[in-house]
Every structure is written in structure tokens, then in C-alpha cells.
Structure 1
Amino acid sequence: MTQRAEHSTVMDRLAIDELVTGYAIAVDDGDWPGYLALFTPDGRADYRSAGGIEGGIEEVAAWLAEMLRHFAIRQHLIVNRRITLARTDGAPGDSATVRADYLNPMRLAGSATDTGGGATAPNYTCAGRYDFTVRRTTDGWRLTGVVVHEKWREVRAQDG
């Protein structure tokens, strides 16, 4: 591999990693326009293993906005990212996959101590693995698909 190809591969990996980080931040912050901007127009997401829906990105973003309002605090930790770039004649291609584990501690809204400076510790935690598919576009790398594979969840009793 030439130095130019190696540099290109490193830059692609960094851009894709930033895309996955942007996904976590958009979901945690409830930034739905930002969430939609991470995807290609034909992007799809599948949250069925976590009790959600599968569909086009507009439909899924609306569902997420409605469902996640039930959580006063959200924090996605996306780790162990394995980025696999497609290859064309030995050079990086224009698509890739990312497999990454997640841990998602949250706090249900309406807990007795959610107002007035009370406890903020998570009382709902889930974890599993994401499968992301990405494609290089004229606007940079964008998500074409997200599939959630929830492995476990724990819901603790509400305070108060």
C-alpha cells in the first residue's frame, strides 16, 4: 500500500469514527435535525431488538424523539469500534461497516428526585452492539443503516 493510500485510509477511519460519535451525541442530546443529517436520504434504522421499530430514517427519528422524551438523562457510550473499509483493487472504497458495542445508562423521567436537585443516577441501563453501514457521499461519510442488537437491560425501581 502506498503512503497516499495509507493516509487516505487513516483519514477515512477518523471520519467514520467521528460519524459514530456524532450519532451518539445526537441521540443523547435529542438533536433530531443533527441525527437526520448523519444519514443518507435513503438511510434506515432497526431498533426492533430494543423494543423499537425498523424503517426509514425520518420515521425512526420521529419515533426516537417520542420514546426518548421518557428519559430525563441519556448517555450512549459506544466502544470497541471495528471499522471495516470496503476495498476496490486494494484501495479504500466508498463504503464501510462498523461494529461497536454500546452501554446506555439513562434515567427515567418522572422519578421522584428528578426535580429540585435530587439524584441523577441512572435507573435504566441497556447494552448491546450496533452494526452501522456507511457510504462516502459528496458531503462526506454518511450512515446508510443502523441495526441495534440489544443484549441486556436493567430497570431499577423508581425513587421515592
Structure 2
Amino acid sequence: MTQRVELATVMDRLAVDGLVTDYAVAVDDGDWAAYRALFTPDGRADYRSAGGIEGDARTVAGWLADSMRLFAMRQHLIVNRRVSFGILEQDTGDTARVQADYVNPMRFAGPGGDAGAPDFVCGGRYAFGLLRTYDGWRLREVVVEEKWRRLPGRPTDPADRDHAG
């Protein structure tokens, strides 16, 4: 590899990493306009393994907006990011796949605020499919694979999947 190609790859990795971080921040902050803007026009998300829905980014953003009202605080962490670049129409680097683990602590909204409200924690793995566009990298696909969750007062039960994260 030449230095120019290596530098371009590093810049792409940083941009892809920034997009994944922007995704987490948009969900945690409930910024659904920003969430939708992260996707390509045909972008889709699949939260079924976490008890949610699958659909286009606009539909899923609406579902998330409703579902996340249950939680006064959200702060999910996306770690162990594995990035690979692919080829679209013979141009190297037009696509990317990211596989990344997540831990998602959230606090239920309680009466009169969140003081004393119980916490809900889940974890799993994301599969992101990205596409390089004229506006930069965008999400074409997000698939959530929830692997575990801990509800207040209950042990972790992988079969208990009734909220998304």
C-alpha cells in the first residue's frame, strides 16, 4: 500500500467511527432528526431481537421516539468495533461493515423525575452496513442482536426481550 492509500483508509476509519458514535449519541439524546439524517434514503434498521421493529429509518425513528419515553436516561456504549471496507461498482472503499458490541444502561422514568427510578441494562452486538455518499458515510443498515438484559429486581434472562436499546 502506498502512503496515500493508507492515509485514505485511516481517514475512512475515522469517519466510520464518527458515524457510529453519532448514531449512539442520537439515540441516547433522543435526536430523531439527527438519527434519520445518518441513514441513506433507503436505509433500514432492525431492532426485532430487542423486542422492536424492522423498517425504514423514518419508521424506526418514530418507534424509537415512542419506546424511549420509558427511560429518563440513556447512555449506550459501542465498543470493540471491527471495520471492513468493501467494493461497490468496482470502486474500492465505497462500502463498509462494522460489527461492534454494546452495553446500554438506561434509567426508567419515575414519577416526579428519575430519582430513585430503577435501572435497566442490556447488551449485545450491532451490525452496521455503511455506504459512502456525496455527503460522506451514511448508514444503509443497522441490525441489533441483543444478547442479554437485566431488569430491575430480576436476574438476566435472554428470553425476556420486550424493550429496545
1:155 equivalent in structure 2:
151
CA distance in 2, matches of 1:85, 1:74: 30
73-82 vs 105-114, which moves further: 105-114
3-state SS of 2:85 partner: strand
Residue-by-residue CA offset, 1:49-86 (whole Å, 9 max, x unaligned): 00000001110000000000110000010000000011
Shift of 1:92: 3.8
CA distance in 2, matches of 1:47, 1:91: 31
Shift of 1:123: 1.2
Residue-by-residue CA offset, 1:7-61 (whole Å, 9 max, x unaligned): 1000000000000000000000000000011100100000000000000111000
1:6 equivalent in structure 2:
6
CA distance in 2, matches of 1:41, 1:75: 27
Tell whether 2:139 aligns with 1:135: no
Shift of 1:110: 1.8
Q: CA RMSD in A?
A: 1.8
CA distance in 2, matches of 1:139, 1:18: 14
- Assess if the C-alpha contact under 8 Å between 1:24 and 1:78 holds in 2: yes
User: Which amino acid letter does the alignment assign opposite residue 142 of structure 2?
Assistant: V
3-state SS of 2:9 partner: helix
2:79 equivalent in structure 1:
79
TM-score, normalized by length of structure 2?
0.87
CA distance in 2, matches of 1:81, 1:15: 13
What is the number of residues matched between the two proteins?
152
- Assess if the C-alpha contact under 8 Å between 2:96 and 2:131 holds in 1: yes
2:22 equivalent in structure 1:
22
Runs of 4+ more than 6 Å apart: none
- Structure 2 unaligned segments of length 5 or more: list them: 154-165
- Assess if the C-alpha contact under 8 Å between 1:35 and 1:61 holds in 2: yes
3-state SS of 1:33 partner: helix
3-state SS of 1:110 partner: coil
- Assess if the C-alpha contact under 8 Å between 1:9 and 1:92 holds in 2: no
1:37 equivalent in structure 2:
37
User: Which amino acid letter does the alignment assign opposite residue 124 of structure 1?
Assistant: F
- Assess if the C-alpha contact under 8 Å between 1:100 and 1:131 holds in 2: yes
- Assess if the C-alpha contact under 8 Å between 2:110 and 2:116 holds in 1: no
CA distance in 1, matches of 2:152, 2:58: 32
CA distance in 2, matches of 1:43, 1:86: 18
2:50 equivalent in structure 1:
50
Identity of aligned residues (%): 63
CA distance in 1, matches of 2:20, 2:111: 30
TM-score, normalized by length of structure 1?
0.89
